[in-house]
Amino acid sequence: MTQAQLGRFAFIDGWRVLAVACVIFAHASLTPQIGDFLRNHSIGIVSEYGEVGVFIFFFISGYVVSTTCFKEVGARSNFSTQAFYARRAFRIIPPLMLYLLTCLLLGKLNYIDFSFTNFASSSLYLCNTTIADCGWYSGHTWSLAFEEQFYLLFPIIFSYIELRKKPRFFPLIIIIAITSMPLVFSVFWIGKTGFFIIHLLFWLGYFSAKHPHGVYGFFKDDRFGSIVLIASTLAVFLPTSIIFPSTDYDTHLIIGKYYKFIYILAIPLMVLLSGRTGSISLRILSNNFLSHLGRATYSIYLWQQLLTGSPIRESGARVQIFLIVAMIFLCSIMYDTVEIRLTQLGINISSRIKRREDLSDITKKDVPIGIQSGVG
């Protein structure tokens, strides 16, 4: 892998850090002292982009997962849905269960408002629907719910598009039904439009991974590429005072619902063009510190919700900021010591699944067609 390729993977981790920072600032602004400070200083604008940070995560997830899948197809001329599920399960489920079990314990101790119903809703990835009861401490897993529902469907569609593997009918129907739940039971602040925007960002990640040189080739002119990068960044991070000239809440909802369609084009362009070889943005985002921290952002995203809840808010701004910084440090250590091992375990299991499938394919090819079909 060339240095440029390494940089492009590292800059994605840099974007993860910026995305989770948007979420943390938005949630921390709910603390009165922090909120007052942000409202009275120009830096306060960063607290407006919590949802933007999550939308960036959606595109990155589609892009990174698809890139891994294309690598597998290139190496094996095949793709394993079961191996995909194994990798995702070991990466996603353990950190989530650790967080939710901690919240459940704190709920039993009456330190936070967290029930078993909240635990179950989040564990089943239902917090992006109206049939769930999630509360504050698991409410943020609405984004994880969208990701997991996408991960259920993606390998099946990917296998069909890239390798013409026809899916089994009944599992496909069940998975489509699960994936469609947020469309049927829409949460008001996501809505049906949000459902389509989110899934389009996921699949644009797939398209970008399938055509890795497409965006870079089209915008190969440095000046043109820089202009588009700046324009797309401004579109994504436009201040809400400009997007929402009215203070009426219903007007905000209507304008915001349709403005998010801009993200479909702007976020992929912003993320990908910031990774152009030799660009300043690539060097900044590929910083070793950001790259390392970016790999721990999944746990950081989970735990920031606990530290921006009401008990911590009431403890004061200094205590909250200290705890958030400590949490980021501990999540980084946890990734290096625990999560990376669990991820590797998932990769090892995935490799065994792929070897078993390859051996099965070889065996089938070696058996005469008449015997395979039961004719003898």
Indicate the length of the chain as a whole number.
376
Q: What would the pLDDT profile of 245-264 be if each residue is shown by its tens digit? A: 666 666 666 677 788 899 99
Whether the pLDDT of residue 371 is over 50: the answer is no
Q: CA 22 → CA 86, 237, 269, 304, 356, distances in Å? A: 30, 11, 19, 11, 43
Segment 87-113 shows an average pLDDT of: 96
Determine the Cα–Cα distance for residues 280 and 230; give it in Å rounded to an integer. Answer: 13
Identify the pLDDT of residue 243.
Answer: 67
Higher pLDDT, 137 or 8: 137
Q: What would the pLDDT profile of 33-82 be if each residue is shown by its tens digit? A: 998 888 888 777 888 899 999 999 999 999 999 999 999 999 989 999 99
Q: What would the pLDDT profile of 142-169 be if each residue is shown by its tens digit? A: 999 999 999 999 999 999 999 999 999 9
Segment 303-320 shows an average pLDDT of: 93
Higher pLDDT, 35 or 323: 323
Segment 267-288 shows an average pLDDT of: 90
Q: In degrees, to the nearest 5, what angle opens at C-alpha 297 toward C-alphas 29 and 334? A: 115
Segment 83-103 shows an average pLDDT of: 97
Q: CA 276 → CA 3, 6, 97, 234, distances in Å? A: 12, 12, 37, 18
Whether the pLDDT of residue 361 is over 80: the answer is no
Structure tokens at 290: 């950001």
Amino acid at 168: R
Whether the pLDDT of residue 4 is over 80: the answer is no
Determine the Cα–Cα distance for residues 90 and 83; give it in Å rounded to an integer. Answer: 11
Determine the Cα–Cα distance for residues 364 and 3; give it in Å rounded to an integer. Answer: 41
Average pLDDT, the chain: 89
Higher pLDDT, 307 or 242: 307
Number of other residues whose CB lies within 10 A of the CB of residue 212? 15
